[in-house]
Amino acid sequence: TTLVVDASKSGRQIPDTLFGIFFEEINHAGAGGLWAELVNNRGFEAGGTQVPSNIAPWTIVGQESAILLQTELSSCFERNKVALRMDVLCDNCPSDGVGVSNPGFWGMNIVQGNKYKIVFFVRSEGPLYMTVSFRKTEGGGILASSNIDASESEVSKWKRIETTLVADTSSSNSSLYLTTTKKGVILLDQVSAMPLDTYKGHGFRGDLVNMLLELKPTFFRFPGGCFVEGQTLRNAFRWKDSVGPWEERPGHFGDVWSYWTDEGFGYFEGLQLAEDIGARPLWVFNNGISHTDQVDTSVITPFVKEALDGIEFARGEATSKWGSLRASMGHPKPFDLKYVAIGNEDCGKTNYQGNYLAFYEAIRHAYPDIQMISNCDASSKPLDHPADMYDYHTYPHEAIKMFNNAHVFDKTPRNGPKAFVSEYALIGDIQAKHGTLLGAVSEAGFLIGLERNSDHVIMASYAPLFVNANDRMWSPAAIVFNSNQVYGTPSYWVQFMFRESNGATFLKSQLQTPDPDSVAASAILWKNLQDKKTYLKIKVANVGSNQINFKISLNGFESSNATKATKTVLTSKNALDENSLANPTNIVPKRSPLQSANNEINDILPPVSLTVFDLLK
């Protein structure tokens, strides 16, 4: 197999938006993941405004004869009325107290020496004596503790309490305890425990953000996916419920991925994170359509207004109605919102066309520069409605199909809207499991096809981005984590190996191979902003089970320092090998010097591998 690379001609520029990321609130990606809040169901609201509410995963501390827990609609917060009432019945309470505890999202990670800001709202009949502590979930050993005392007059009405806990010891499986040893009645609401050390102080878990930064993503699509649609409209994500002070957000039950979110990671936080990682935000909003119900186009105006208000929230002056709310949240400068998607995967639904046009026209009129994305696939037939881009999703179960998807856009007419491959991944229990090498290499073949078609495909993102290993609702995902660990799947590392393509020059090359169904290759020239030098990068995916003798013939390229040439290989013994929490770096790219790096390179491609050759110009 030979790749002939023609570097003598100028090549074509790949859009600098090509490879980005798609964040969805799925698999506890945000709540219990990227959003560093440790308390799960902090407002006792998970059952909605039903009383008794569902307070899980809060549990009682002490005997039921000593303490009675009930919920009631007595909170001081208008949009989340449920509060927890604790009737402490014991005259001689146990010395380590009675009350409630919260294990967070499968255990809080408390680290020795680290500080945690605890905030909660309390009301009490009588003076308040409470202890706030982190304890080991198993065994109850105390990791950090603080006493809160307040006079009857201070707490006869709702009072905000804030304290800082400093951990004496570490445990990745801890709980927050709110306890007392005094008889009486205590009401609690909106209990938060935030690590003081978060990414840029903005509340994001640093180790997870670092994984994103490594990918150098140029756009950030959020907050879903199906999460935006909802199984039913009443459980869809609505941005207005996710902004403003955290304690006033009502939270909601995401009925597609089946969990409650307190909406700590809301619309504002999505925009903020995009800015923090240097990516352009791409907002997906609900278009009046869920998985099972739809708003009729004749009455869609409130939804259109909601979308326009959302754009004003992001881009409006700090003096505008919604822009001023953004400013009050700490971001007076507008966010750089230029892309919106009108719904998710709704093209086939009865009201899509009508609803879509109502949004399209209103947004075009108010914000002519905003790029709008239709849910309808135009890869094989033209769209029958106006759009700047169209969405394309692909989730094959067979590696060969993923690999050959590289040709999906080869014949698409170039005179219509551009393509946005906003979700792609190999899935299924047989070949993809929790993220196999085979799946990743098949995706690499697909991405090589996207580079080749990047005059038409201008954005692409893998899906989903995150999975909390305790809630594998959808697998695989690119990044796996639990309370204290994180690793990339082979698919993550493939994205890492493609990160230099954004804005690079795509060179003409010709692959001569007897195995077109298993080998794909591309060549780019890219500029390293750190050393200001230009590099040639050749990527070759071999999805087949045989090793391949591979030759690169370089025309019009002379390396200024052939001794610096390297090759980086992503492979493993078996095609279905994976990384895991126990072995997180089983499959990672391995770099080595390249022996012959003049205008001809001879090498061997391992079975099921992605190999990258890097040469300094």
Residues at the interface with ligand AHR (CB under 6 A): 24, 26, 224-226, 344-345, 423, 463-464, 474
Whether the CB-CB separation of 5 and 538 falls below 8 Å is answered with yes
Query: Residue 322: which residues within 8 A CB-CB, separation 6 or more?
Result: 309, 310, 312, 313, 316
Structure tokens at 224: 């879903």
Least separation, in Å, of the C-beta of 24 and ligand AHR?
Answer: 5
Query: Residue 581: which residues within 8 A CB-CB, separation 6 or more?
Result: 469, 480, 482, 485, 487
Query: Within 10 A of 248 (CB to CB), how many other CB atoms are there?
Result: 15
Radius of gyration of the chain (CA): 27
Whether the CB-CB separation of 52 and 30 falls below 8 Å is answered with no
Least separation, in Å, of the C-beta of 481 and ligand AHR?
Answer: 17
Of 26 and 444, the one with the shorter C-beta distance to ligand AHR is: 26
Least separation, in Å, of the C-beta of 226 and ligand AHR?
Answer: 4
Whether the CB-CB separation of 330 and 318 falls below 8 Å is answered with no
Of 24 and 262, the one with the shorter C-beta distance to ligand AHR is: 24
Rounded Cα–Cα distance for residues 562 and 328 (Å)? 55
Angle formed by the axes of helices 267-276 and 301-315, to 10°? 40
Of 24 and 37, the one with the shorter C-beta distance to ligand AHR is: 24
Least separation, in Å, of the C-beta of 214 and ligand AHR?
Answer: 21
Least separation, in Å, of the C-beta of 185 and ligand AHR?
Answer: 44
3-class state of residue 231 by DSSP: coil
Rounded Cα–Cα distance for residues 103 and 479 (Å)? 23
Least separation, in Å, of the C-beta of 25 and ligand AHR?
Answer: 9
Of 1 and 27, the one with the shorter C-beta distance to ligand AHR is: 27
Rounded Cα–Cα distance for residues 79 and 423 (Å)? 34
Of 225 and 417, the one with the shorter C-beta distance to ligand AHR is: 225
Least separation, in Å, of the C-beta of 26 and ligand AHR?
Answer: 6
- Name which of 478, 399, 404, 475 is nearest 439 in CA terms: 399
Of 239 and 550, the one with the shorter C-beta distance to ligand AHR is: 239
Rounded Cα–Cα distance for residues 195 and 187 (Å)? 24
3-class state of residue 362 by DSSP: helix
Structure tokens at 124: 């009490």
Structure tokens at 616: 């300094």
Rounded Cα–Cα distance for residues 454 and 451 (Å)? 5
Of 75 and 344, the one with the shorter C-beta distance to ligand AHR is: 344
Please identify the residue of the shown chain whose CB is closest to the bound ligand AHR: 225
Of 335 and 474, the one with the shorter C-beta distance to ligand AHR is: 474
Least separation, in Å, of the C-beta of 520 and ligand AHR?
Answer: 24
In this structure, are strands 548-555 and 2-6 parallel, antiparallel, or unpaired? parallel
Least separation, in Å, of the C-beta of 242 and ligand AHR?
Answer: 17
Least separation, in Å, of the C-beta of 29 and ligand AHR?
Answer: 10
Q: Alpha carbon of 25 to those of 285, 390, 406, 509: distances in Å?
A: 13, 22, 28, 40
Of 423 and 614, the one with the shorter C-beta distance to ligand AHR is: 423
Of 121 and 239, the one with the shorter C-beta distance to ligand AHR is: 239
Rounded Cα–Cα distance for residues 222 and 377 (Å)? 20
Least separation, in Å, of the C-beta of 510 and ligand AHR?
Answer: 35
Of 232 and 328, the one with the shorter C-beta distance to ligand AHR is: 232
Least separation, in Å, of the C-beta of 390 and ligand AHR?
Answer: 14
Q: Alpha carbon of 164 to those of 116, 157, 248, 261, 265: distances in Å?
A: 5, 23, 22, 24, 22
Query: Residue 368: which residues within 8 A CB-CB, separation 6 or more?
Result: none
Least separation, in Å, of the C-beta of 136 and ligand AHR?
Answer: 35
Least separation, in Å, of the C-beta of 289 and ligand AHR?
Answer: 13
Of 464 and 488, the one with the shorter C-beta distance to ligand AHR is: 464
Beta strands (DSSP E) in 322-440 are: 339-342, 371-374, 389-394, 418-424
Rounded Cα–Cα distance for residues 91 and 88 (Å)? 9
Structure tokens at 291: 């998985």
Of 3 and 372, the one with the shorter C-beta distance to ligand AHR is: 372
Of 171 and 475, the one with the shorter C-beta distance to ligand AHR is: 475
Identify the bridge partners of residue 130 per DSSP, sorted by sequence position.
148
Among all chains, which residue has been given the structure tokens 């603080």?
146
- Return the exposure string of 466-496: e unless at least 16 CB atoms fall within 10 Å of the residue's CB, then b: bbbbebebbbbbbbbbbbbebbbbbbbbbbb
Query: Residue 530: which residues within 8 A CB-CB, separation 6 or more?
Result: none
